[in-house]
Structures are given as C-alpha cells and as structure tokens.
Amino acid sequence: MTNPRRGEIYLVRLPGQPKDTKFRPALVVSLDVRNRLANDVIVIPISTTLDKSFLIRGPFSGAISDKKMLEIEQAIQRAVGIIV
C-alpha cells in the first residue's frame, strides 16, 4: 500500500469499536512526511451528523479548563502541520 496523503479519504476500522464490522470514512489530516515516516496516520472520522443518543456516558470529570483546551488545540494544529 502506498502512503496515505493528507486530504485523502479512506475507509477505516475505528479503534475501540471491535464490534463494529463496517468500514467508516475518515479524512487523513497528518502531514505527508509524517505519513511516510511514522507507523501511523492521524485521521478524523467523517459523519454527517451524530445524534446525541449516541453519547453513551460522560462527561466523566467535568470540562477541562479553557487554557488546557487551547493547549490541546495547538498540539493538534502542530500535528497536522498548521503553524501556531
């Protein structure tokens, strides 16, 4: 298999969903250089909408702080090649 490229859509098995036998569409968001060198890729599952009834449990311990959420957003941006 060739290396996935950023922006491509693949059918994937979602980790943590072993009983789900259907392949799901996911968008590759990791940088092409990372896709060549790493043993994994960063993808975002694609769905048209998600009904709130799919939320099984949570939140588990309340919301994280705005500061921590900003740190997470910046880490995601760095991982997908957006300069922060």
The pLDDT, as a whole number, for residue 68 is 85
pLDDT, tens only, 31-67: 889 999 999 888 888 776 666 666 666 556 566 788 8
Query: Would you call the peptide bond into 18 cis, given omega within 30 degrees of 0 as the criterion?
Result: no
What's the number of CA atoms in the CB half-sphere (13 Å) around residue 29?
14
Distance, in Å, from the CA atom of 41 to the CA atom of 28, rounded to the nearest integer, reads 7
Within a domain: 2:
no
Within a domain: 4:
no
Within a domain: 13:
yes
Within a domain: 74:
yes
Q: What is the mean pLDDT of the chain?
A: 79
Within a domain: 53:
no
What pTM value is reported for the model? 0.61
Q: How many domains is the chain built from?
A: 1
Within a domain: 3:
no
The pLDDT, as a whole number, for residue 62 is 65
Res. 6: pLDDT tops 80: yes
Structural domain span for residue 39:
9-47+60-79
